[in-house]
Structure formats: structure tokens, C-alpha cells
Structure 1
Amino acid sequence: MRLLIVGTLEGQLITASKIAMDRGASVTHAATIEEMLKVLRAGRGADLVMADVGLDIADLIERLEGERFHLPVVACGVKTDATAAVGAIRAGAKEYIPLPPDPEMIAAVLAAVARDQSSIIYRDAAMASVVRLAEQIAPSDASVLVTGESGSGKEVISRYVHARSSRANRPFISINCAAIPEQLLESELFGHEKGAFTGAIARRIGKFEEANGGTLLLDEISEMDVRLQAKLLRAIQERVIDRVGGGKPVPVDIRIIATSNRDLAEAVRAGTFREDLLYRLNVVNLKLPPLRERPTDIVELASHFVERYARENGVRRRPISEEARRMLLANPWPGNVRELENTMHRAVLLAMGDEIDVDAIRMPDGSPIAPGRSADARLAADVAATAEAVSRALVGRTVADVERDLILDTLDHCLGNRTHAAKILGISIRTLRNKLNQYTDEGVNVPGPGEARIAVA
């Protein structure tokens, strides 16, 4: 676990550092947000940021997102600083730790991050065979290609392989090839020198160098431009990379794991993926079955998510009723584990009685799940219904009204998480925050983190 502590709370943060190191974490300290960014640009990396609540947490998170450092942030401060604590959570911090630090709380936060990164929940025989293969090949340095539908757990199994490899104590670095514009992906992978291109204000170490000695996950590699694939192939074959604007090769020692939700053999035939790169990546293939083909895992995962989100939201953990279990098992889950997770998170917040019943198992728009329908039929019906509803709803409305509803509905879908909502909307968190402040001033109900707007008939 790599912990980056940001701030200057004198002895309090020093104590927190010592507690974290006693619990096995490697700790780096930065006094300011700018120093934090310098540490991350230098490739020293982090799995968790613990920030002094006296800093501008919203700005800190926005700066991280702006430079594509996707890290969980925990705020910490003196116990009496309640207003700042609430502000930090609303800005996107995952947790607030009061100081002086409690060793058990520090340990719990570190354990939660580690657990989220490397745990895997399964019971079904179809998934068990994949896990057995993952355990068998984990100690090697062979490249691994993980395939499966979106939301089936490709990154989870990748972290599982890393955690059981000889590189487990070294970094696990992930990069989503589909989420980064083509013109920036090369710099993200291989780094760049200062002045290499417009906006390159300082040297930045790429993911290959950051992962040196550990594992690099190339998520959704099928989305990588074919021209960049040639440079990736050279890096894998020769174990050297060239920074953008750099003058000499840099040696690297990493294990490559790649994921794809598309048929790469078909992509090779279509000319969008290099055949020689596929051979390099596909030494071992871990093919994850979709959730509908591993029914024994559905209730197991649902119970796991109920326990997790009840704890995170500070609500009582309720068991899942028998009728709700039957509904979960009958649903085709086209979004796989990710869809199930979101559904159970919603159910934890909506449940009213002693159990999580069918009334709490709902779609994001509040409609009940319709079990037993095929994924394709359900998707087609949903698309048609949504298109018709959107068309009718927009007529006669102003652009400002439509924008407001879109922002608030997205925030509602993200359960009040500003950072996630801003990502989906394609705007900065600062822009989102300004819009929400405007709506609050206008008397509009804006949900806080973990809250959802409840429509009253």
C-alpha cells in the first residue's frame, strides 16, 4: 500500500505516517498540492491520498483529475473542524479521519483500500475454474489477456493475479486506454519531457516507468490506436521505452496484463489490432463468464455489496428477502457485476422494512426490474421507451431547464458523488460545483454525497 500524505498538520500527520508505516504502508509526504503533483508526475505513485482538511480539497481533487491521476482521497483534521469535514466529503473525499489519529481507524482505511483492490467474491463453478487458472499462472511473468463483457470483473481478476505474483509488493498500475484521448495516451504510457508538446510544463513519468518492477494493466486495449500499438509492441519485446521528446531509451521491468471486451481476433481481421501484439499479450487468456452464466455468484455478490454499502452509508444492514433473491436470480444482468453492484447500492438506500425486498430492487430511473426478459429485448425496449420519453419531455422547455435536470439526474444516479457526476457529464468538478451552488441559491433540492432525490407523486 502506497500512501501519499498532503498537508502540514505538524506532529499529527507525522503520527499518522508512523501508524501507517507500522501497518505496512510505504508513506510519501508533500506539504502542498503542487508538491503532491510533483511527486505523482515523478512516477512515485500512490494508492491513497490522505489530505489535510485545511487544504482546498475540491481543488486538490480537481487537480488530480485534471492530470488524470485517479486516486481515492481521504481528508483528515482536528476533531472540532466539523464544517471543513463536511465540505471535504461534499467535494469528493471518500472518508474523514479525525486527528489525533486513531491507529485502528488508520488501519481500517488502509485495509479497506487494499481489500477493494484485490478481493474477489465467487462461489459458482464457472468462476472458480477461472480463479484456479489465475492462481496457477500468477507466479510467472507471462503476459495475460483478460477477456469478458463490460462489468464482468476484468480489473478485479487482474489485481488478483498481481496480488499472488512475485511482484505483489511492487506497484500495480492501471490505465484505461479507452478513456484517454489518442493524442494523450502515448504520453500517459511512456511519459514526456518538459516542452515535448504544448502543455508539457514539466517532465512526467509514464505508467511504464511508474509500474517498474510491478504490473501494468492496459485496460480495454482494443481501443488503442494501431499506430501506438507498434510502440507498445517494442516496449514489451525490448523492455525499453522512449519518453515523448526524450533522447535516450529507458529500461523497464514490468509484467503486462491487458483486458478487452471485444474479440481481438476479429479486430486483427478488421485491421484495427496488430496480430503480433495479440500474440505477445495472449500468452495466457483468462476469459470471464458473464454474470448470467454464473448464477450461484449473484446472491453471494449481492450480499457482499449490501454489507459494504450499508457500512459505507452508515445504515443498518438488512438481509435480502427470498422474493428479492428470486428476482435477482431471474434478471439477465446485461451490465454484469457492475450493474448488480449499483443495484444493491441503490437497494441499501431505498429499503424501508426489516429486509431488502423487491420494492427496493429498482432500475436507476426508479422503475422496477423486469426479470426473465432477455438482455437484448430488455435493452431494445428500454432504448425505445427512453427515446420516446426524452422526445416528449424536451418539447416546450428551455435549454437551462434541460441542463439543470440533466445535471441533477446524473448527480442522483451517482448518489451525490460530485467527482463521478462531473466525469459522466464531461465537465470539470469546479463547473459542476458552480452549477450546484446556483441551483441551491434558486431553492432547488441538491443531493449531498450518499443521498438521492426522492420523487414524491
Structure 2
Amino acid sequence: MSIQNILVADDEESMRWVLSKALRKKGFNTDLARDGDEALRMIKANSYDLALLDIKMPGLSGLELLDKVKEERADLFVVIMTAEASMKNAVEAMKRGAYDYLTKPFDLSVIDAVVEKVSRARDMSCQVTLLKEELKDRYQLEKTIIGNSPAMRDVYKTIGKVAPSDVTVLIQGESGTGKELIARAIHYNSRRLGKPFIPLNCAAIPKELLESELFGFEKGSFTGASERKLGKFEQANGGTIFLDEIGDMPIDLQAKILRVLQEKEVTRTGGNQSIPVDVRIVAATNQDLEESVRKKAFREDLFYRLNVIPINLVPLRERREDVPLLVEYFLAKICAELEVPNKRCSAEAIKLLTGYNWPGNIRELENTIKRAVILSPDPLLVAGDFPGLTSKGADGKGEELSLEGIVDLKLRGSFSNMERMESGDVYSMVLEQVERPLIRFVLEKTRGNQVRAADILGINRNTLRKKITELGIEVVKQA
């Protein structure tokens, strides 16, 4: 990441002018400040890569400003300039976090050397930071891609085979199957580890903005383009770009992606210069691209360039043996995130979760587990803690529950937090709510014949009459 924006803060107008002219001639964007206070305001309002600060200025001195800078922008490289070549100043500047220290007067070639030195240091710092983050992500990723089913074992084998090369990969699967996780696994196991991984969802960006997101634009190329912007391909240079939902990409833009694959260069919107890029492309879609090709909605030549190595992720319903592992992983993850005691699922709950169809795949499973963890006060999650699934069968559609199952489901919904309930006659209240519809139903079936209804219910006729009065049941005799 080379230097672009530089701030020069010096109370001498001649020094500001000389440095500004020299730096702008080299192509740097340069802002000027007359004193420390103005410089601090500019640092808070703008993004600079390097600040050249005079040690003696009105208001905040260079050293005082350096302290403020380290509080506001710890990543900003600062070079202190001074006309007093004292060891005390030099030691103090470096102790407070300055990157370098220059004594006036100096030749402009010294500034060139310092800027180049800072540029290399920034690149190295960014690469180290990125590598640390990617190694951390890689470690997390290895614990995140869950599954021992034959289908997932095949995916792991494919990742191992294709990751070391730069071959283009097309990941296909339904929404929620974890396509981006697989793309990241390919990147983190490749020679491009330590370089950028840049994801872009082609379906989430309006058509008119997608091109500039991919290829960037030059300053003034359209209304609102106040400065040059690098596109995703340039940002991913040396690394991997992940084009998610590429099946939604407009057909005219597909031709430009094909050109990047063939020529390995891009042209910014509003520009005429071809910019070389070294980028590996991993694409993903939840659509049938072969069908899209037949319908002329997707370019055939681009499909074949992308589909060099296909990876097909099967839906969760086709690898149900992985559900218990996923449930265990999500329970641990969600409880840690919510800072609640660890929870586990009963055997009945696991059976229910494994049998469900999961049209939303892994993403739906995670959300379902999270909802149950939040709503249930108990350390053991049972089938009734998943009311959205209890009323559905393995195909995700309606399935008739037993009477006991319905009562269990309703009770859990009504008394989800038993610990907070006050003492009371819950037993009688629940029985009353069950008795009323039961007696009403039997009376309807016997057309109001209480003798027959009492016989079916297995209770005395006088007991039935008493219940009818107590429960306020209206008896309608039918002919």
C-alpha cells in the first residue's frame, strides 16, 4: 500500500512551499498546515499516510502534536523536522513514536529517501497485519467448516488439490451452504496467503454501480467522482477475489470479467490506461449456470473459463449426519457470543433437528439454535424449544402432532420462563383450559346429549353438569 496523502505542518511558509512543490511533483496529494492546532484538525478530518511535522510551531509543538497523533491515528507515520540538532530532541521524538527525525536544512533528496523508506515500511506493516489476520481467520475457518459426511470429505479433498495452484474455481450450492467459507479455505491454503482476500456479492450491488466497484474509477469520470477509487480487482492484486452470486451479474459486465481472465488487466471507469493485475478468481452461485447459458442469460465462454474446477456443495438435507456436529458447534459459539452458560440439546431435540428439511441450510440452522438459546432458560434444550420445527416434518411441511405434543408445545410457549413465575394455582388453571375445549367438543359430537357425553368422558352425569356450570360452557341441543 504505497503512500498517497501527505501532511506538511510548518510555521515557515517557505518550507511549506518547497516541500509541497517537491512532493506534488512526485504525484503525492499534499496538504499544508501553518501550526500544530490546524494540523491536528486536519489529521482528525482526513486520512494521511505520512505527516512531516516541524518541532517548533505556534500552539501545539511538533512533539505535543505527535502525542495527539498517536492517540488519534496510531498507524500514521510521523517524521519530525527541526532546525536544532540536539540529541535531546532526537531521542524525545523517537521515544514518543516518530518514525524518523530530520535536521534542517536538508536536501530534497533526503525527503525522497524518507518517503520511499516510509512507503516500504507501510507495505511491510500492512502485509504483517494482513498475514496475522489471515492466519487468525484461517485458524477460525478450520473450526468453522464442519462436517464428516462423504459429501464434505470430497469437498475437503478438492480444496487440498486446487488450493496450491491459481486455477479458477466455481462453487455452486444453495443459499446458506457456506460458499464463502469454502472460497476463504482455498485462499488461506494457497500461495496467496498474506495477500488480500476481497469478497464481492454481485447480487447486492445495483447494476449501475457494480462496474465501478469491480474496476474503480478516475477522478471526475462522473458526477460525484471527487477522487480516484481503486476497484476490487486492484484491491485484490496479488491475492484472491471472490465473486459471489456471479449468476446475477449483467451480461455486458460478464464480457469485461472475461477480459480480466484473459488479459490479466483492468481499466478504470473514465480511464484509458490498462492496469496489470495478478488476481485469482473464485466465483460462486446458487443458480444453475448451465441452464442460464442455454437461456442466453450467462455467457458460455465465461462459464467455461470459470468452471475449470467446480465444487458442488450439497444442501444440509442431503448430509443430515453432519447436523449433530453443527448443532454442537453453534451451541458453543452462540453461548460464548451471548456470554451465557453452555447449553446442550436433548436426544429428542437432536432427532428433531436432524429430521428437519432445512430449506435455508446452515444459515437457518444457526439462526434456529440462536433463537432457542435466547428464549430457553434451561441448560438442556428439548424438542419443545424449537416450536417452529415441532409442527413440521422431515420435508419441512406440516405434520400432525400428537395431542401430548400439542399440549407440550403450548405449555412451553405459555411458560417459557418458569423461574420468574409467581406461586399460584397453575395446575388448576391448565386443567381448566384443557377441560373446557374437551367437554365442549364431546357435547358437540353428542348433539348436546349430556348422558351420552358423560358416558364417553367416563364421568358421572352430575359431575358433567357441575363442570358445565363451573366452566361456563353453553350447551346447544341439536335436533
Deviation string, structure 1 residues 114-166 (Cα, Å, up to 9, x no partner): 55556411111111111111111110100000001110111111111111111
- Cα distance in structure 2, aligned partners of 1:111 and 1:280: 30
Q: Work out whether 1:301 is the aligned partner of 2:348.
A: no
- Identical-pair percentage: 45
**1:81-137 alpha-carbon deviations (Å, 9 max, x no partner):** xxxxxxxxxxxxxxxxxxxxxxxxxxx999875555564111111111111111111
1:357 to 373, 382, 401: 382
Deviation at 1:308, TM superposition (A): 0.6
Question: CA offset at residue 351 of structure 1?
Answer: 2.2
- Rg comparison, structure with higher value: 2
Whole-Å separation in 1 of the counterparts to 2:395 and 2:356: 9
Shift of 1:175: 0.1
Cα deviation for residue 371 of structure 1 reads: 3.8
Does the C-alpha gap of structure 1 residues 178 and 34 become closer, same or farther in structure 2, counting only changes over 3 Å? farther
- Report if aligned partners of 1:347, 1:362 keep a CA contact under 8 Å in 2: no
Is 1:372 the counterpart of 2:384 in the alignment? no
Residue 259 of structure 2 aligns to which amino acid in structure 1? R
Q: Which letter maps to 2:157?
A: R
2:209 matches 1:184: yes
Partner residue in 1 for 2:287: 262
Q: CA deviation at 1:362?
A: 4.3
1:197 correspondence with 2:218: no
Per-residue deviation at 1:320? 1.2
Structure 1 residue corresponding to 2:171, chosen from 126, 132, 146: 146
Hey, what's the Cα distance between the residues in 1 that align with 2:309 and 2:288? Answer: 15
Preserved contact between residue 134 and residue 188 of structure 2 (Cα < 8 Å)? no
Secondary structure of 1:35's counterpart equals coil
Q: Which of structures 1 and 2 has the larger relative contact order (alpha carbons within 8 angstroms, sep 6+)? A: 1
1:245 matched residue in structure 2: 270
The answer to whether the Cα contact below 8 Å between 1:351 and 1:359 also exists between their aligned partners in 2 is no
The code of the aligned residue for 1:359 comes to G
In the alignment, is the contact (CA less than 8 A) between 2:146 and 2:325 conserved in 1?
yes
From 252, 266, 284, the equivalent of 1:227 is 252
Match of 2:47 among 35, 38, 42: 35
Q: Distance in 1 between matches of 2:45 and 2:392?
A: 48
Counterpart in the other structure of 1:333: 358
Residue type of the alignment partner of 1:372: G
Gap change, CA 1:188 and 1:324, over 3 Å in 2: same
Contact preservation (8 Å) 1:229, 1:274: yes
SS at match of 2:200: strand
- Aligned residue for 2:372, secondary structure, equals helix
For residue 166 of structure 1, what is the amino acid of its counterpart?
Answer: R
Structure 1 residue corresponding to 2:183, chosen from 143, 158, 172: 158
Partner SS, residue 326 of structure 2? helix
Distance 1:176 1:369, change over 3 A: farther
Conservation of the 8 A alpha-carbon contact between 1:362 and 1:369: yes
The whole-number CA distance in structure 2 between the counterparts of 1:109 and 1:31 is 26
> Equivalents in 2 of 1:183, 1:109: separation in Å?
33
C-alpha RMSD of the superposition: 2.7
Tell whether the 8 Å contact from 1:331 to 1:370 is kept in structure 2 after alignment. no
Letter in 2 for 1:35: S
Amino acid at match of 2:338: N
Please give the alpha-carbon distance, in whole angstroms, between the structure 2 residues aligned to 1:260 and 1:369: 32
The Cα offsets for residues 336-384 of structure 1, whole Å up to 9 and x where unpaired, read as 0110111111122122223122232244xxxx54342424x46xxxxxx
Indicate the residue corresponding to 2:159 in structure 1: 134
Aligned equivalents of 1:144, 1:354: Cα separation in 2: 43
Number of equivalenced pairs: 279
Instruction: Give, in whole Å, the separation in 1 of the partners of 2:243 and 2:148.
Output: 27
Unaligned runs of 5+ in 1: 1-29, 40-51, 56-107, 379-457
Distance 2:303 2:284 in 1: 11
Amino acid at match of 1:338: R
1:50-69 equivalences in 2 (<5 Å)? none
Residues 115 and 369 of structure 1, relative CA distance in 2, 3 Å threshold: farther
Q: Alpha-carbon deviation of 1:205? A: 0.6
Contact 1:299-1:325 at 8 Å conserved across structures: yes
What letter matches 1:158 in structure 2? A
Q: Give the gaps of 5 or more residues in structure 2.
A: 1-41, 51-68, 73-131, 399-479
- C-alpha change, 1:32 and 1:180, in structure 2 (3 Å) is farther
Relative to structure 1, the CA distance from residue 321 to residue 205 in structure 2 (aligned partners, 3 Å threshold; closer, same or farther) is same
